[in-house]
């Protein structure tokens, strides 16, 4: 089976190689190197006997890994390797974690590539964030008796559907995992239907509630607004937006008669910055890009930089979190809640079913289903009702934390065996 998978995977690599080359040219900071992904030219000057490999596929998973790594470093002497697949994931990992661990592009899921990573780093444990279940990676870990933990395990609707259709094949893959740390009883029950033994599953909650985020004081936020010429503005941040969402938001904004309104748009993927800029131009809005911002009276700020989104959530009055007006399942809405901001989402939030239900039941996040809902959100920015949403959501967030420590505890159990 693994030989067949390697052949299929190699064929897929050859199929997408023109796009891969394009990405490599677009992101010229060394994020993507073919030799790195093949496991060549690896160098780890290992000094500690216990080594942990953490795979976090993209930006969101990298952010979830940060508090785990910080906690592990406090609790023991470990060498830690973080691998990520996407350019933004790698950039943020290098920015946040370079002083704590090694950061490398993830290997291709080819046996030859994966073997080189195992040979060079010699991990004592492999941690996969969420559900990155790659056959060659898991097979090689099993061959070397390296325990595998899947942290913050979740499955989207499509994954669940196809997993049930191909139960026999899926079981052969997931059976190589030693421990699933799941967000909810619902995910636990689903894994059991696939044949996973109950003792391999622990419900620890969502790591998203324990995100490690920078703190900004009230005075800092006021000063930042003044420096940027935003004082007196009512600010909405549209964070992690996806293809099609900016157009929906801009159409609604065009119908709102508020001179004090400022929308900050932060596309999820950097390669879309130019396309979103052209879209803003087509609507006739006064705008600037953050990369060359000069104080001016604008209606839209395009956040075309990486790593600044939390700061803009902090200075905002309201947040919309993208990937949810279109069928992508949504992105992490905990960040703006951490800053006590009212949060609005589209109706497609199946990536966050369990977590969103906690807040929806208390009415402290709102769902946007049609244009009228978006207009009402924009018209209501700065009202006491929206402010109360943010305060209540923050209170709930404090009550559901704790997944980080439970996850770290499970990792240490395996390392201490």
pLDDT band of 26, cuts 50, 70, 90: very low
What pLDDT score does 30 carry? 46
The structure tokens listed for 10 are 């190699």
Q: What tens digit of pLDDT does each residue of 238-266 get?
A: 999 999 999 999 999 999 989 999 999 99
> How many other CB atoms sit within 10 Å of the CB of residue 117?
24
**Mean pLDDT, rounded, for 199-208:** 95
In the chain, the N- to C-terminal Cα span, in Å, equals: 31
Q: Is the pLDDT of residue 296 over 60?
A: yes
What pLDDT score does 22 carry? 46
pLDDT band of 19, cuts 50, 70, 90: low
pTM of the model: 0.84
pLDDT band of 16, cuts 50, 70, 90: low
Say which residues have a Cβ less than 8 Å from residue 224's Cβ, sequence separation at least 6: 216, 230, 311, 315
pLDDT band of 409, cuts 50, 70, 90: very high
pLDDT band of 29, cuts 50, 70, 90: very low
Pairing of strands 300-302, 261-267: parallel
- Where does 218-399 sit in CATH, by number? 3.40.50.2000
Q: Is the pLDDT of residue 157 over 90?
A: no
Q: What tens digit of pLDDT does each residue of 76-121 get?
A: 889 999 999 998 899 999 999 999 999 999 999 999 999 999 999 9
Q: Is the pLDDT of residue 31 over 50?
A: no
Topology annotation, domain 27-205+402-415: Rossmann fold (3.40.50)
pLDDT band of 27, cuts 50, 70, 90: very low
Phi and psi, residue 175, nearest 5°? -70, -15
| Intrachain domains 27-205+402-415 and 218-399 with the same fold | yes
> Is 136 within 8 Å of 110 (Cβ atoms)?
yes
Cβ-count burial 218-246 (b if 16+ within 10 Å, e if not) = eeeeeebbeebebeebbbbbbbbbbbebb
> How many other CB atoms sit within 10 Å of the CB of residue 282?
10
Domain ranges of the chain: 27-205+402-415, 218-399
User: Which of the residue ranges 161-170, 225-234, 286-295, 398-407 would you say has the lowest mean pLDDT?
Assistant: 161-170
């Amino acid at each position: 089976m693994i030989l067949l998978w390697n052949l299929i995977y190699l064929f897929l690599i050859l199929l997408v190689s023109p796009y891969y080359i394009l990405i490599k040219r677009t992101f010229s900071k060394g994020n993507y190197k073919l030799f790195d992904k093949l496991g060549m030219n690896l160098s780890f000057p290992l000094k500690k006997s216990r080594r942990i490999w953490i795979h976090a596929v993209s930006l969101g998973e990298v952010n979830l890994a940060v508090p785990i790594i910080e906690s592990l470093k406090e609790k023991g002497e470990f060498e830690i390797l973080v691998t990520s697949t996407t350019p933004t994931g790698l950039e943020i990992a290098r920015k946040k974690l370079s002083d704590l661990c090694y950061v490398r592009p993830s290997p291709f899921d080819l046996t030859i590539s994966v073997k080189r990573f195992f040979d060079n780093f010699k991990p004592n444990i492999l941690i996969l964030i969420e559900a990155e279940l790659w056959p060659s990676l898991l097979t090689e870990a099993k061959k070397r008796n390296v325990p595998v933990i899947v942290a913050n395990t979740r499955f989207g609707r499509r994954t669940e559907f196809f997993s049930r259709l191909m139960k026999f094949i899926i079981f052969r893959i997931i059976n190589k995992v030693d421990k699933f740390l799941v967000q909810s009883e619902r995910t636990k029950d689903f894994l059991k239907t696939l044949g996973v033994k109950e003792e391999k599953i622990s419900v620890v909650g969502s790591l998203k509630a324990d995100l490690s985020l920078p703190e900004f004081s009230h005075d800092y936020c006021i000063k930042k607004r003044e420096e940027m010429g935003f004082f007196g503005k009512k600010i909405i941040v549209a964070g992690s937006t996806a293809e099609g969402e900016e157009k929906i938001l801009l159409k609604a904004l065009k119908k709102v008669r508020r001179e004090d309104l400022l929308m900050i748009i932060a596309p999820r993927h950097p390669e879309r910055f130019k396309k979103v800029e052209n879209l803003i131009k087509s609507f006739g809005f006064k705008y600037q890009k953050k990369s060359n911002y000069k104080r001016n009276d604008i209606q839209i700020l395009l956040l075309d930089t990486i790593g600044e989104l939390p700061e803009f959530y902090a200075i905002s009055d309201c947040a919309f979190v993208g990937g949810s007006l279109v069928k992508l399942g949504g992105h992490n809405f905990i960040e703006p809640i951490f800053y006590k901001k009212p949060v609005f989402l589209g109706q497609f939030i199946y990536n966050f079913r369990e977590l969103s239900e906690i807040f929806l039941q208390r009415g402290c996040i709102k769902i946007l289903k049609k244009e009228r809902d978006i207009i009402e959100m924009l018209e209501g920015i700065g009202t006491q009702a929206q402010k109360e949403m943010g305060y209540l959501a923050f209170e709930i967030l404090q009550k559901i934390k704790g997944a980080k420590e439970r996850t770290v505890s499970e990792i240490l159990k395996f390392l201490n065996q």
